[in-house]
Amino acid sequence: MTIRVEAIFEDGVLRPVGDVPLYNAERVRLTIEPPHEDIDHEYLAQCQAEVAKSTKPALTAEELQELLKDDKSSWADLIIQERGEY
């Protein structure tokens, strides 16, 4: 039986994105096929390094709440309008 499963590789471990019909500790053979063969990983790493150097730290929940406390607009309406679904 062959099963095709998407997985995420993080911290040295492949983690399936969804449920996998296997028994616990069942041994399998993997063939790894990156989803995007045309990605330039070296360039991507450079871009990520640049972003990491240039971005400000994320706002805390309290800071974000303070910034938005006077915002009375409907975010749902803005999203619908942006998508042109009116």
pLDDT score, position 79: 84
- Confidence band for 37, pLDDT divided at 50, 70 and 90: low
pLDDT score, position 59: 81
Retrieve residue 80's tokens: 């619908």
- Dihedrals φ, ψ of 52, to 5°? -60, -35
Mean per-residue pLDDT, 20-42: 83
The CA distance from 30 to 22, in Å, is: 13
- Residue range 49-67, pLDDT digits in tens: 888 887 777 788 888 889 8
pTM score of the predicted model? 0.37
Q: Provide the strand spans (E) within the chain.
A: 7-10, 13-16
Percentage above 70 pLDDT, the chain: 95
Contacts of residue 8, Cβ cutoff 8 Å, sequence gap at least 6: 14, 15, 17
